[in-house]
Amino acid sequence: MAVTVPTASRFHGTSAARAAGKRTRRNSTLLGLLAWLCGIVFFLPFAWMVLTSLHSEQDAATNPPSLGAALTLDGYREFFGSGTGVSPWPPLENSLTASLTSTLLVLLLAIPAAYALSIKPVRKWTDVMFFFLSTKMLPAVAGLLPVYLIAKNIGMLDNIWLLVLLYTSMNLPIAVWMMRSFLADVPVAILEAAAIDGAGLPTVLVRIVAPVVAPGIAATALISFIFSWNELLFARVLTGVVAGTAPVFLTSFVTSQGLFLAKVCAAAVCISLPVLAAGFAAQDKLVQGLSLGAVK
Amino acid sequence: MRRPHAPHATTAKPSTSPPARRRRGAWARRAPLLPALLFMIVVTQLPFVGTLVISFMRWNALDPNDRGWAGFQNYKAEFTDPQLRHSLTTTVTLTATVVLVSLLLGLGLALLLDRKFIGRGAVRTMLITPFLVVPVASALLWKHALYNATYGLFNGTLTWLWSLFGSDSAPQPDWLSVAPLMSVEASLIWQWTPFMMLILLAGLQSRPTDIIEAARVDGAGSWHIFRYLTFPHLRRYLELAALLGTIYVVQNFDAVFTLTSGGLGTANLPYTVYTTFYQAHDYGQASAEGVIVVALSIIVATFALRTVSSLFKEEIR
């Protein structure tokens, strides 16, 4: 042991460092706890929504809240129409149709456009990019009335395909921006070299383009799906009993009489489920999508 | 990460090729772009022309016989109407409050999440959740399960806290009528903070770690590292988050519609246009409001586009 006795100065140095290390460790534990606390605060309303959806209507509407009340699936049964006989499946199917079809259309239109704006850019391509973005900045509500009148005249009101068109236009600008930022990462020099070496188009697409672009397509599709699924204003004005989407269906719960809290919470959970699942599965894609591809 | 554009990219083909071929080449370049461009023009720009025309008309669906040109009457009515002016200030207050507060909260959370601690992934997932709840569902949750004066969670918690001290006279405010605009803002801040956090966290994690390490070795304190290294790097991301947040919050309809139905001074511009059109059926008036909203948006957008172009400067060369 005598061998390890340090000199005075070194001893002081290490003990100071150790004290500092202890302090930073304590600080970082505290900051970790703070992060947990914030996480719980932000999560609490959602947790409350899930818990309420699993309570009976009587237990859901108590003051103070009854946390430990018996759990039941009655709220969910109500949502699926056990009491009223109104099935939520048609609006859910409408939402799915509108979201998936418009997402597909968005990709079909955005990918070629992004190609023309990045790999073989047209002249003044920045102007085109800003035109797309500017349509996103104009409030959608400003074009609502003419769309309504036209739809009414050609008998397209309460038709899910009208929403498909509108949702496509709503998400196309974001999609073009995102896809462009991904296509800009495709190594053009390698593309040209491969072409000179005689690689066919399928080879080039699979080996060089796809690995770079596939995450971008996934991110674009995710964002497009979520925004279409969430949309309320157009769906509310332009659809009725036939083509009403899930968010419109959800607002109809507000008018219910009597106790309805558990039922509303169950409905809110069910309708948010596709977005929650998609979002949790692809958190990073979400960031890319929302930042128009600027943050990778 | 970002590839500088090859110089040939923006110029046309070599001048040796005949003009006809060059023109064909230019069209070949444009062709993939045209479907998307045409689609956007037809679906978003043409309806607006319709709005512009109708805004000069006297047209109420409830009174179909009295339809004709009205000149600037709708606009005159708009600017003398205190309600529209109020919804204008409401829109500005609502957007500014929501964007600024969620930006600050998001920055704090991003800084917390940027350090290693036990269960970081779980906390991140919890923090993202509010953003993944469908906006209408979130508005209903806040209105009925949280704000409700008799059985909402907020007042329930107050009752519980007061009862801990043996009091049964806990304050039971009706949140939505005591502070309607703040209630709407709070629910939107809950939804938008995760979004800001995600962008800022991505910004933090793209910091060049070697420079920060070097600064730390040279004895720079945490505050100085934040002030002189992290913050300048983060500025672009702050601007981006603020801009995108503004685009979406300005157009918010769901929260105002669900929480207060635009009552008690919470009607913002999108909601006002909606009621004039959908409830009052005054098409001319609603169109004039739409045109005013667009005119204002263009002012904001011109400023915003300038910010964006500086943000994407690195890409756009």
pLDDT at residue A2 greater than cutoff 70: no
Q: Looking at the structure, tell me whether residues B38 and B177 fall in a common domain.
A: no
Query: Helix, strand or coil for residue B29?
Result: helix
pLDDT of residue B229: 84
Count of the separate structural domains present in chain B = 2
Task: State which H helix or E strand residue B48 sits in.
Answer: helix B46-54
Shortest Cα distance, chain B CAs vs residue A8, angstroms:
24
- Residues B68-83 have a mean pLDDT of 82
Q: Residues B273-299: what's their mean pLDDT?
A: 84
Is residue B274, in this structure, part of any structural domain at all?
Answer: yes
Out of A35-49, A123-137, A258-272, B103-117, which region has the weakest mean confidence (pLDDT)?
A: A123-137
Task: Determine the Cα–Cα distance for residues B43 and A7; give it in Å rounded to an integer.
Answer: 80
Coil, strand, or helix at residue B68?
strand
Q: What percent of chain A has pLDDT over 70?
A: 88
Residue of B nearest to A119 (CA): B9
Q: Of how many residues is chain B composed?
A: 317
Give the model's pLDDT for residue A240. Answer: 82
Question: Which of 68-107 (A) contact B at CB < 8 A?
Answer: none
B76 close contact with A: CB closer than 8 A: no
Same-domain status, B39 and B97: no
Q: What is the mean pLDDT of residues A107-119?
A: 88
Asked if the structure places residue B29 within a domain, the reply is yes
Residue B67 included in any domain: no
Q: What is the pLDDT of residue B316?
A: 44
Percent of chain B topping pLDDT 70: 90
Distance CA B286, CA B290 (A): 6
Count other C-beta atoms under 10 Å from residue B213's C-beta. 10
Domain boundaries, chain A: 2-79, 89-290
- pLDDT band of residue B7 (cuts 50, 70, 90) is very low
* Residue A114 near residue A220 (C-beta atoms within 8 A): no
Residue B9 has pLDDT above 70, yes or no: no
The answer on B212 and B157 residing in a single domain is: yes
Asked which of A162-171, A261-270, B134-143, B261-270 is least confident by mean pLDDT, the reply is B261-270
Q: With contacts defined as CB-CB under 8 Å, which chain A residues touch B30? A: 116, 122
Chain B within 8 Å of A41 (Cβ-Cβ)? no
DSSP characters over B104-131? HHHHHHHHHHTS--TTHHHHHHHHHHHH
Given a cut of 80, is residue B132 above it in pLDDT? yes
Scan residues 182-221 of A and list those with Cβ closer than 8 Å to B: 184-185, 187-189
> Can you name the CATH fold of A89-290?
MetI-like fold (1.10.3720)
Q: Please indicate, yes or no, if residue B61 is contained in any of the structural domains.
A: no
**pTM beyond 0.95:** no
- Distance, in Å, from the CA atom of A229 to the CA atom of A248, rounded to the nearest integer, reads 11
Position A11 scores a pLDDT of: 46
Nearest to A145 among B198, B244, B290 (CB): B290
Provide the phi-psi class of A290: left if phi over 0, else alpha when psi is between -120 and 50, else beta: alpha
Is B253's CB within 8 Å of A233's CB? yes
d(CA A296, CA B139): 31
Same domain, residue pair B139 and B233: yes
Q: What is the pLDDT of residue B136?
A: 92
Is residue B205 situated within a structural domain?
A: yes
- Tell me, yes or no, whether B176 and B280 share the same domain: yes
Among B22, B141, B279, pick the best mutation site for testing chain A contact (most A Cβ within 10 A). Answer: B141
Average pLDDT of the residues of chain A: 82
Q: Examine residue B194 and state whether it is found in any structural domain, yes or no.
A: yes
Q: Residue written as tokens 């008018």?
A: A255
The alpha-carbon radius of gyration of chain B (Å, integer) is 26
For residue A262, the model assigns a pLDDT of 87
Buried b (16+ CB within 10 A) or exposed e, A229-267: bbbbbbbbbbbeeebbbbbbbbbebeeeeeebbbbbbbb
Domain that holds residue B226: 78-311
Q: Does B39 touch chain A (CB under 8 A)?
A: yes
CB of B149 within 8 Å of a chain A CB? The answer is no
* Domain presence at residue B173: yes
Q: Out of A42, A110, A233, name the one closest to residue B36 (CB).
A: A110
- Which residue from B276, B143, B251, B153 is spatially nearest to A250, judged by alpha carbons? B143
pLDDT digits (tens, 9 = 90+) for A64-85: 788 878 888 888 888 887 777 7
Shared domain for B280 and B139, answered yes or no, is yes
Contact check, Cβ <8 Å, A139/B269: yes
Q: Which residues in chain B are contacts of A152 at CB distance < 8 A? A: none
Instruction: Check B253 against A39: CB less than 8 A apart.
Output: no
Assess whether pLDDT exceeds 50 at residue A232.
yes
| B191 plus B279 within the same structural domain | yes
CATH of the domain at B156: 1.10.3720.10
Q: Above 80 in pLDDT, residue A199?
A: no
Are B225 and B276 contained in the same domain?
A: yes
**Least confident among A266-275, B121-130, B136-145, B209-218:** B209-218
Contact of A48 with chain B, judged by CB distance below 8 Å, is answered with yes
ipTM: 0.83
The better pLDDT of the pair B246, B317 is held by B246
Q: Average pLDDT of B80-93?
A: 85
- Between CA B110 and CA B31 the distance in angstroms is 43
pLDDT per residue over A240-264, tens digit each? 888 889 999 988 876 655 668 888 8
